[in-house]
């Protein structure tokens, strides 16, 4: 297939591009920069200039392709609601091009708020759009399905890790460096689902090859890694104390990130593994981050 990939130079998208090409697919990668264009060319992909805000570029990329994988998202949490609205417009623009065809669309979502207090599964649906949860990826995708588009979602684990990661764990390392301690909240037994980016990339490809409309799919290799175990690795690697904090102390230590530090979101991927014959092969989160690459300044 010729696959249009948004976010093609991003953390997950770049892995998706390489996995697709290695499996014999052709990739048209969205980028807005010369540096991104060079990276895509080096990976063996075709370059498509544009951005999430440029809906015409999204429509053009989708029109040239047999399938679309949408991984792009602006992770500036200072304007999260605005970014969620931009994401919805992008999904709608791509979907409008695919409507009436048999060409599939995979949209990226997450698992963090699917099932508070229990283990989430693929059958769970995200909370309704609200000021506290303005992300509209799944709702926009569901609306396309109702119009006959072969669309579904790949839900990523909150920690999609690997060397070069610039997501959740590097933020924890930064806090530990700044505060001189690696902290966890309470007993630290709240759980973070995790997946290596290379394993996550394979979920997207397998979903395209085996029936994209069969989702949602959970790119989750580990159902839940105790937060305390992550804090302990960081403390040992940085040679700083590992401490328990109250929610109030954690709010001071982590700032805006305290909500994520306290997140307990165990998540199953049993249905995804069975449907796609997906078997994670990369190192788990603890083994992966217990490496100098994560702590290089």
pLDDT tens-digit series, residues 123-168: 998 876 656 566 788 999 999 999 999 999 999 999 999 999 888 9
Its pTM stands at 0.94
**Mean pLDDT across the stretch 272-281?**
96
- What number of residues does the chain have? 297
The residue ranges of DSSP E strands in the chain, in sequence order, are 2-6, 26-31, 46-49, 67-70, 105-110, 151-156, 159-161, 182-185, 191-196, 217-219, 222-226, 242-245
Residues with Cβ within 8 Å of 179's Cβ and at least 6 positions away in sequence, in order, are 253
**Mean pLDDT across the stretch 100-107?**
95
Which residue's entry shows tokens 């290799």?
Answer: 221
pLDDT tens-digit series, residues 211-257: 877 889 999 999 999 999 999 999 999 999 999 999 999 999 999 89
């Amino acid at each position: 297939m010729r696959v249009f990939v948004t976010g093609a130079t991003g953390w997950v998208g770049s892995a998706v591009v390489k996995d697709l090409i290695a499996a014999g697919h052709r990739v048209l990668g969205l980028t807005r920069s010369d540096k991104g264009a060079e990276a895509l060319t080096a990976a063996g992909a075709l370059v498509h200039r544009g951005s999430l805000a440029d809906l015409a570029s999204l429509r053009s990329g989708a029109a040239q392709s047999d399938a679309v994988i949408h991984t792009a998202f602006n992770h500036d949490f200072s304007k999260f609601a605005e970014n969620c609205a931009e994401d919805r417009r992008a999904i709608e623009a791509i979907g409008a091009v695919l409507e009436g065809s048999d060409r599939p669309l995979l949209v990226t979502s997450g698992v963090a708020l699917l099932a508070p207090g229990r283990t989430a599964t693929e059958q769970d649906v995200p909370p309704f759009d609200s000021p506290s949860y303005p992300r509209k990826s799944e709702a926009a995708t569901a609306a396309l399905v109702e119009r006959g588009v072969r669309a579904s979602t790949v839900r990523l684990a909150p920690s999609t890790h690997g060397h070069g990661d610039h997501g959740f764990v590097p933020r924890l390392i930064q806090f530990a460096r700044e505060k001189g301690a690696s902290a966890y909240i309470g007993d630290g037994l709240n759980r973070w689902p995790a997946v290596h980016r290379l394993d996550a990339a394979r979920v997207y490809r397998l979903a395209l090859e085996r029936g994209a409309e069969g989702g949602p799919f959970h790119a989750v290799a580990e159902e839940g890694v105790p937060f305390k175990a992550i804090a302990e690795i960081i403390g040992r690697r940085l040679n700083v104390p590992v401490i328990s904090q109250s929610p109030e102390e954690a709010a001071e230590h982590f700032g805006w990130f305290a909500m994520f530090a306290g997140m307990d979101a165990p998540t199953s991927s049993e249905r995804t593994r069975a449907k796609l014959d997906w078997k994670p092969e990369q190192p788990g989160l603890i083994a992966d981050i217990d490496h100098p690459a994560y702590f290089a300044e």
